[in-house]
Amino acid sequence: MALPEPLLDTAKLLEQLRELGAIGHDAAQGGRIRIALTDEEKAGRDLLVRWMRELDLEVRVDQIGNIFGVLHAEHPEGMAQPLMMGSHIDTVRNAGALDGCYGVLAGLAVVRAYRQAGLRPARAIVVAAFSNEEGVRYQPDMMGSLVYAGGMDVQAALHTVGTDGTRLGDELARIGYAGDMLPGAIVPREYIELHIEQGPVLEAEGKSIGVVESLQGISWQKITINGVANHAGTTPTRLRHDAGYAAAACVAFLREQVVAAAPDTTLATVGSLRVEPDLINVIPRKATFTVDLRDPDEQRLQAAERRLADFLVTLAEREGVTIETEQLVRFEPVVFDAALAARIQAAAERRGLPHRRMTSGAGHDAQMLARIAPSAMIFVPSRGGISHNPREHTHDDQLALGAQVLLDVVQDCLRGQ
């Protein structure tokens, strides 16, 4: 007698995306705000844990607050090499409802399909929600998965002080998610992350599925320029030590020289810029700004960093200012597991879904899990390429197709043992 096939309950997945998306809703500005380890994110965590328990999953929480829902295998030895899916549920400010949450809740949808079919997998299935992926309150971003993969000491992470002066470990305990499981205690045989693209490529090309085979390297720096404040009307240009001008020159250099050296791959962004004393008629004495450099090739990323560093030396001498740099985040590019990417492509082809191989421009928990397990990602289109924004949107049918491909890949992996 043939065993029943696990079938997705798409309506339930969409319902849960809406319900989780309502937590932290900002009526004034739109979107939702569930910054890591705030009361709003605790409410999201509580809801996720409730849904995991409704599926009779074993819920585990590790020392950095990562949440795992475990569907145990048919036989005890199936826990030795579990299959893991996941992402995160924390947000940036005024975020959309899908970034991160889709991957976690689609993982629950896969588990629900097994439960409703009365099936036990050959190997355990684990749904993960990693802590502090966005890095808004505590840096670095992707902290939960970074700690889990051994890239950051858990005690160092717990002692991290946030932008609001709070200590991460204290906030984790306050919201009730300071678990006792050692990070990395569950070692997956493979990790699969389903995500909206957060970019325009799939929509522009009419593709339903992105087979993500690599992920860009990321370099974040904070740059502080100290000059001399003076009267805007009485100080000749040749005698100025203008921190604001020096910052603007750096911004222009990033676009005109650093990006221009590899325009198809290198990206540079100044996302935060502050000047002091911030007065219309005073030459700025200080400018502080961030630089986000990205490239899928490590050598090109290093070249971009060197060009910026050399320019800062020249700029400081030319303008008579002092410049300090602080490395905030540095992650090398990641190449995902070729066999797992091939399974994703094959699943899309079996369903006749137009697809393409691609590189992710954003960072994801998958890049950290790739340190300890074969990993890959599945993308679905983002309307207008918009993300980190209340207007973030993917059509329901596209969300359903992505979840179906995820289920197909999970079944294929488990059949292959």
Determine whether the annotation assigns residue 388 to a binding site: yes
SS (H, E, C) 154-184: HHHHHCCECCCCCEHHHHHHHCCCCCCECCC
What are φ and ψ of residue 86, in 5° steps? 165, -170
* Of the candidates 246, 234, 322, 323, the residue with the CA atom closest to the CA atom of residue 284: 246
Determine whether the annotation assigns residue 134 to a binding site: yes
3-state secondary structure of 402: helix
The amino acid that residue 86 corresponds to is G
Determine whether the annotation assigns residue 99 to a binding site: yes
What is the full DSSP assignment across 232-256?
TTTS-GGG---HHHHHHHHHHHIII
What is the full DSSP assignment across 259-323?
GGGSTTT-EEE---EEEES--TTEE-SEEEEEEEEEESSHHHHHHHHHHHHHHHHHHHHHHT-EE
Structure tokens at 197: 């693209």
What are φ and ψ of residue 190, in 5° steps? -150, 155
CA pair distance 260, 64, nearest whole angstrom: 40
- Residues within the annotated binding site for Zn(2+)? 88, 99, 134, 195, 388
- Residues within the annotated binding site? 88, 99, 134, 195, 388
